[in-house]
A = this chain, B = another copy of it.
Amino acid sequence: MQTDDGQIAAAQLSEPDATPARAAPRATADIAKDPISWEGKLVRWLLRASGNPRVVLSLWTGDRVWTCAEAPVVELHISDRATLLRSCLDPHMEFGDGYSDARIRVDGNLEQFIEEIYRADGAHHEWVTRVRSVLRWIQRGGSNTLDGSKQNIHHHYDIGNDFYALWLGETMAYTCAYFPTQETGLDAAQRAKMDHVCRKLRLRAGETVVEAGCGWGSLALHMARHYGVKVRAFNISKEQIAFARERAKAEKLDAQVEFVEDDYRNIRGGYDAFVSVGMLEHVGVEHFPRLGDVIQGCLLGNGRGLIHTIGRNLARPMHPWIDRRIFPGAEPPSLRQMMDIFETHQFSVLDVENLRLHYAKTLDHWWRLFEAARERVSGMFDEKFVRMWRVYLLGSKAAFSVGQLQLFQVLFAPSRNNQIAWTRDHLYHA
């Protein structure tokens, strides 16, 4: 695990799938006129249906195809016919699977390839969207009932604390950090995020806080240690809760912080603050009114709440590969969808901050730490796992970079609570 605040030299990292020996793609040829195989024609169709990204697609047949008007910036190699056919049927799913299995290789910068696909995405034909929505329905992750949520969370978060410790940095915070400056390191930025959240909530010593979805417990412990509050923190991941409890004992905070292995739907009692950082993505939009009920039921009249979540500008299903292979049942909501939590529960939204570029930076740190530890990861799992997580981390970074994903911090309070901050000045003068 890197401890130098996540900063590792670029030289330590070889670009994944870099192929220095390969010639740059011919930028000016109009491939449409060249005589090519039927597989090549299929590739041409695939590129056009993907909005003509600046990508060369090369095949085991030797065909090299691109349809962009500008010079291609990256080359994708498909190793066999079955992979090509699957890519045409469902490119989003097959890219992730094919890359993981090394049936698809990227010659050049993987991140740039993914950004390129996102940027071209707007040009998609209507029917591609329709076919996809059917495929997504078939491939959808598990639903977030009480049991379904447990399975979904287990799938991602219970694969080993040691693995996560390799690349999350010393806080083990697995959510977007807040970088006061672009130069801030990962661990400092994770702590700055926790302070940012605590200041938004205006926590005062002696107050009570309930946390929904507490991960490995870093925020709960931070709130207790630095703000003198009493915390009940809920999580349904067995491994995370076990880790968090040990941490609380080791830091002698177990009298102040109680880690509860239970679903947010079972939160009861009265608290001065409700906080949830990185859980809403897993709640499922259809459960938002219920979450609103839970918060309304547990927040005192002068209470404050904060939800930190990955979001979208416009409601869209999760990327199908992420939904199936990485985060089953996850669904980043739009602000409109989030209103189901607040609107009918007499909450006022006080402050929304969009930190999407901070998440791109956070993911860049994680990816660098991950690559630096890839031999250990490969030993823990296998090479396929390494490639799978690489495409997940870099794909997520690209999604935040190009504005496909957002990161919303939403502060709210019961509508009649007038004990709210007069301005946001206090957030910036610690």
Contacts and interface: CB of A to CB of B under 8 A. Distances in A.
Interface of A: 119, 178-182, 313-314, 334-336, 339, 342-344, 346-354, 356-357, 401-403, 406, 415-418, 420, 422-425, 427-429
Contacts of A356: 348
Contact of A313 (B336, B343, B354, B429): B343
29 contacts: A119-B416, A179-B422, A180-B423, A313-B342, A313-B343, A313-B348, A313-B349, A313-B415, A314-B343, A334-B339, A335-B339, A335-B349, A336-B336, A336-B343, A348-B356, A349-B352, A349-B354, A350-B353, A352-B352, A357-B418, A357-B420, A401-B418, A402-B416, A403-B415, A424-B424, A424-B427, A424-B428, A425-B428, A428-B428
Nearest to A403: B415
Contacts of A350: 353-354
Given A179-B422, A348-B354, A351-B353, 20 more contacts: A178-B423, A313-B342, A313-B343, A313-B346, A313-B347, A313-B348, A334-B343, A335-B349, A336-B339, A336-B343, A349-B354, A349-B406, A351-B352, A352-B352, A357-B420, A401-B418, A403-B417, A403-B418, A424-B428, A428-B429
A358 to B, nearest CB: 8
A349 B314 CA distance: 11
A422 B357 contact: yes
Contacts of A313: 342-343, 346-349, 415
Contacts of A357: 418, 420, 422
B353 A424 contact: yes
Given A313-B347, A313-B415, A429-B428, A422 B182 contact: yes
A354 B351 CA distance: 6
A346 B118 CA distance: 14
Nearest to A426: B428
Given A339-B334, A343-B334, A428-B425, A406 B348 contact: yes
A336 B337 CA distance: 8
Most buried by B among A119, A335, A353, A416: A335
Contacts of A420: 357
A403 B334 contact: no
A401 B344 CA distance: 20
Contacts of A343: 313-314, 334, 336
Contacts of A180: 423, 425
Contacts of A351: 352-354
Contacts of A401: 418
A195 B288 CA distance: 37
Contacts of A335: 335, 339, 349
A418 to B, nearest CB: 7
A356 B423 CA distance: 11
A333 B343 CA distance: 12
A312 to B, nearest CB: 9
Nearest to A410: B352
Contacts of A423: 178-180
A189 to B, nearest CB: 11
Given A314-B344, A346-B313, A348-B354, A403 B416 contact: yes
Most buried by B among A180, A342, A349: A349
A326 to B, nearest CB: 23
A349 to B, nearest CB: 6
Contacts of A428: 424-425, 427-429
Most buried by B among A181, A356, A418, A423: A423
Nearest to A423: B180
A401 B336 CA distance: 25
A192 B348 CA distance: 24
A348 B415 contact: no
Nearest to A401: B418
A182 B422 CA distance: 8
Nearest to A421: B357
